[in-house]
Structure 1
Amino acid sequence: MTVYDLDAPTGSGWWHWAVSNIPADVRSLKLNASAGKSPPAGAVESVTDFGTPGYGGVCPSPGDKAHRYIVTIHALETADIGVTPQTLPAMAGFSRCGTVLGSASLTVTYGR
């Protein structure tokens, strides 16, 4: 599962969250499921563009337009794609290649 800011002023967007190896029987995430508080057993949160693993909240810079945040979940044919907390989101995406059975995305907009 990923949360990606398409409109971050970086030239390449901004990864707010990347979590892999969520067990197939998980149907929802608990409130505050990130940062070691209550992620599903076996799930791995990878480093984001904030420089640490875990969810980094959304908040465009003051005066910036509203940003589009893409939340994506992938169903995989394997339970473990070999990521660690140090795996960058782009590398986790590469590790998913060839294992994706299906995906769903939701785009939400947020501004100050």
Structure 2
Amino acid sequence: MPLALTSPAFEPGGKIPSKYTCEDEDISPPLAIAGVPDGAKSLALIVDDPDAPDPKAPKRVWAHWIVHNLPADLKSLPEDAEARGLPGGAVVGVTDKNEAAYHGPCPPIGRHRYFYKLYALDTMLPAEAMTKAELEAAMKGHILASAELIGTYHKGDP
């Protein structure tokens, strides 16, 4: 079975409930993980928005959540994972809001896509908060498998 990332909160390509956005509780959605390959030592997760600031004229990819050194045997992350306690050793990275925390969808205009990208790595990474670019550089040459879950959000969605 290939590496897979799903959420009981929204279907692939579906609308992310407002509970997980800046318009409501702004907490991370629950995530389910399956198919981690043999030899994986850790997992990394990046959530970003390639449609910032306007999907009709995107100018940058905005990082909303970065976590690495998740255990390779992890099967799920609960809703509001940071408050409920990430697994020991997990490190929350620095988002484009310049904070080491989850920041949910908050599109200024239009419907944006949010990419939840999971990576199975053959190593543990340094136990320090990294930006998305730093994490991607650290993962280079260590990715055994990857999976992606895409959700969408437009301000005012229920």
TM-score, normalised to structure 2, is 0.64
RMSD, aligned CA? 1.3
> Contact (CA 8 Å) 1:46, 1:83: kept in 2 or not?
no
Q: Which runs of 5+ in 1 are unaligned?
A: none
Partner of 2:63: 15
Secondary structure of 1:31's match? coil
1:1-112 equivalent positions in 2, closer than 5 A = 1-9=45-53, 11-34=59-82, 37-61=84-108, 64-78=109-123, 80-85=124-129, 87-112=130-155
Q: Which runs of 5+ in 2 are unaligned?
A: 1-44
Partner Cα distance (1:98, 1:55) in 2: 26
Partner Cα distance (1:23, 1:7) in 2: 30
Query: Percent of aligned pairs with the same residue?
Result: 38
Partner Cα distance (2:86, 2:64) in 1: 16
- Greater percentage in strand: 2
Q: How many residues align?
A: 107
Amino acid at match of 2:49: D
Rg larger for: 2
Q: Give 4+ residue runs of structure 1 displaced > 2 Å after superposition.
A: none
Partner of 2:22: none
| TM-aligned CA distance change 1:71 to 1:106, over 3 Å | same
